[in-house]
Structure 1
């Protein structure tokens, strides 16, 4: 699976953990493919930090592996606020003193700054990478998920939806993460929440799906050199 994390009891009153049933393993195996089938999803990424929380309200295109949105800081300086666009290898930011609640559908041209996406040492970059990794062009192997420690943890209502909470298998090769991923998945295998524990952060990263309308990710104006 795409990412891994470790968290404590989520307060859902679950009876887990227990091994997945065949149906649950099938839905977990399909969940990243569902995002790919959808082309893209609207996401809200909540990133913890000792200096304050960052919230990324964005759209992620799972076919092109690119995300675009707006960053807001809570309980911290607003120097991080602004537009953001990222791929598996790079991050472009456009600082804004009064960042809007949602990014404009057509990205503005000037003012972007590009840097490499860090593979470790940045809770934000790890979160962005994980969000991109939550889509895949084929289903995962349901039998291998069960064999490698995937489990059912309980059920919880999120925005009126009754969702199963499933822990994915261990992924020791994922830089910046530790433990298991937990997915909140509906009866069709569509994911609505993911939580990931990032190294050096006391609280997990939370990625919520469908929190706002999905807006297709458009290329940056040619002058910025973006795609």
Structure 2
């Protein structure tokens, strides 16, 4: 990698945090077709909120979703809107812990929260830990470089930070980043052991809407 590429990879999560939040579409595959989550993520409060729909399967998972690093809240809906309402419903939510491992959805939710950091990653460590340049691709009109970061644990609370190698425990997978000339992340791809295909995280497919947390969904410390 060139020094410019390394530096852009080192700041990409920091830029997400600096922006406050990002709009993101999360494609979560499974053998039945998967789920698509149209969401906003607050990288300072560590909270996500959006609409979840089944893709190529029944609609049993359809509705609203809000999550932190420890908690997932779902609001089932027979016909959810295209985007989540700015003010979440006050009732009708069901809460459960975010699972540490073994569930592709929860792994994807934990990973997207970890794609923001309050400081740049260590650029010196990136090449040492396996970061490589893979090519270039245009993403929604943005010219990006595709970079592969070190392996990341696909489990709650695990780090996807480009500069931090994680132990290979069967859930550790490769992360690819699509980053523009300023270091902005436009896409990330994560291979998770429990999923048949990579999880795709597409950023800025629409405007970011600030996330209003719900009672019982406390931001991570």
TM-score in terms of structure 2 length: 0.89
Asked whether 1:205 is paired with 2:199, we answer yes
Aligned equivalent of 2:102: 121
1:31-46 → structure 2 map (5 Å cutoff): 31-46=12-27
For residues 26 and 116 of structure 1, the distance between their equivalents in structure 2, rounded to whole angstroms, comes to 36
Aligned equivalent of 2:116: 135
Aligned equivalent of 1:188: 182
Bigger relative CO (Cα 8 Å, ≥ 6 apart): 1
TM superposition shift of 1:180? 2.1
Contact 1:59 1:68 in 2 (8 A): yes
For residues 86 and 120 of structure 2, the distance between their equivalents in structure 1, rounded to whole angstroms, comes to 30
Aligned equivalent of 2:140: 159
Contact 2:173 2:193 in 1 (8 A): no
Aligned equivalent of 2:38: 57
Q: Which runs of 5+ in 1 are unaligned?
A: 1-19
Aligned equivalent of 1:101: 82
Aligned pair in 2 of structure 1 residues 36, 176: CA closer, same or farther (>3 Å)? farther
TM superposition shift of 1:175? 6.9
- Size of the aligned set, in residue pairs, is 205
Aligned pair in 2 of structure 1 residues 174, 40: CA closer, same or farther (>3 Å)? farther
Aligned equivalent of 2:158: none
Give me the CA root mean square deviation.
Answer: 1.4
TM-score in terms of structure 1 length: 0.87
